[in-house]
Structure formats: structure tokens, C-alpha cells
Amino acid sequence: MERGSFGRVVVGSVVTTLALTGCQLKNGGEDLVNGKQQFVTNCAACHTLARAGASGVTGPNLDEAFRQSRADGMKDSTFAGIVEGQIAHPNRNAQVDPATGKELPLMKPGIVTGEDARDVAAYVASAVAEPGEDTGPLAAVGASKAEGTATEQGGTLDIPVAASGLAYKFADATATAGQVTVKSENPQPTQHDIAIEGNGVNEKGEVVTSGGVSQFSADLKPGTYTFFCSVPGHREGGMEGKLTVK
């Protein structure tokens, strides 16, 4: 989910509406495992939700947005009603990236629908601003984390995007000095690219989604570089790593 969804002002206004109408989403046996999976696939790149392993920064931090309401004793059913309402009718006010001055992408209405939307709402309601970690079947689902080292082979350095969340599959990378093609396949519906900077090099590939490959070629000298996603907010959310060229 992208910027413009669960801000504190939105939470306050929707809570007021729910209080006036008496409308709350009842627990109807929603599938929390599916809800978490849908959240990490469609929402984790833009929102922070600790129990889902989500660290997105282009949308509101859900834990912070609901923390005071949780402390005040608000029920999960009310949280779920707020979340489902925002999925169906997100805030459409344009937001600007303070670092670049560019407008950030708005959350699309109905990014998940039907039972999936209800499952997402139920999971977020159960997890938001809650300490600790998910247990049982929920523990097996979550945003991916970068691990290990990508190694250049035959002049190609492959650093794929992880299956979900703000992460590449690898935490760092190594390459041999010379002409190197850097490529990154993105399996997510969220847009990502691959970029590097350092030692006078500043290159990036195209932004891609859903199986697309972002790539470029550069002449790399020995030294240390940073690879990262240049989509606004993604690097800040943790989508970067160290590239060592020898």
C-alpha cells in the first residue's frame, strides 16, 4: 500500500465516523495467514508494521498511527474497520518526497479486494502496535530479509529483488574490476530498480515490476560501492547493500 492511507488524521476521522454510526467490522473467521501474506506482498514496501517485518517509509507507519488508540483500549474490530475502509477508499491527497520535491505514488483504491481485503484488515488489526513476534503459522509468513553475498560471474552481477518487502535477496555483493552488467529481476507487484554509486560511478537501471529485469552496465574500478533501489523511500526503508570490487 502506498502513501496516503493510514495517517493519524485519517485514523481519527474514521474512528469518529465509526463511533457515530456504530459500525464495526465483526470477526467473521478471517484468514490471518492469508491476510499477512497479502500484506507483505502488496503493502510492506510502503508501510512499517513490525510484526510483518515491513519497513516501508513512503506510507504511514501503521504501528505509530495506531499506537495511542491501542493504548486507549480500542478494539481490533474497530481497527479492522478503519483498515478495510482505507483499502477501499484511500486518501487521494498528493504527497511530496521532501528529499526530491517529487510527488510520491498514491495508494491505489482496492489494492486488495473481497476476502483478501478483509483478511488484510483483520491481520493488521491483530498485529498493529503489538509488541513481540507472530507465532504459529503466522511466524512462517513475513517480508523477506536480505542475506548472503551476490557474486559476479562472467561479467554479470545478479542481485534479484526479494519475494516481498523492501529487500534484495542479497545483503552485499562482490565483483571483479572491469565492465560489469548489474541486473535485478523484480518478482513483486511493487516497482523497484537497481542502482549503484561510488568511486565516481552513478548508474541505475529502469524501474520494473512483476518479473521485469532492471539492468545497466558500468566500468567498475577496485573499491567500495553501494547498490540500492532508487524508487523514493525504498533505500530509506533498507533496500541497499555494499558492493566490493577487487
What per-residue confidence (pLDDT) applies to 35? 96
Residue of 93, 113, 104 lying closest to 59 (CA atoms): 104
| DSSP notation for 191-208 | -B--EEEETTEEEE---B
Alpha helices in 89-147 (DSSP H): 114-127
Residue 154 has pLDDT above 60, yes or no: yes
Q: Is the dihedral of CA 218, 221, 226, 227 positive or negative?
A: positive
Provide the whole-model pTM.
0.74
Provide φ and ψ at 172, rounded to 5°: -150, 180
Domain map of the chain by residue range? 8-140, 149-245
Tell me the CATH number for domain 8-140.
Answer: 1.10.760.10
pLDDT at residue 6 is higher than 60: no
What would the pLDDT profile of 90-145 be if each residue is shown by its tens digit?
876 656 555 556 566 677 788 899 999 999 999 999 999 999 999 999 999 998 89
pLDDT in tens, 194-234: 999 999 999 999 999 999 999 999 999 999 999 999 998 89
Q: How far apart are CA 3 and CA 232, in angstroms?
A: 11
| Continuous segment of H or E residues that includes residue 246 | none
CA 176 – CA 245 distance, rounded (Å):
5
Fold designation for 149-245: Immunoglobulin-like (2.60.40)
- Distance (Å, whole) CA 243 – CA 246: 10
Question: Which phi and psi angles does 176 have, rounded to 5°?
Answer: -90, 140
Per-residue pLDDT tens digits for 224-245 = 999 999 998 899 999 999 999 9
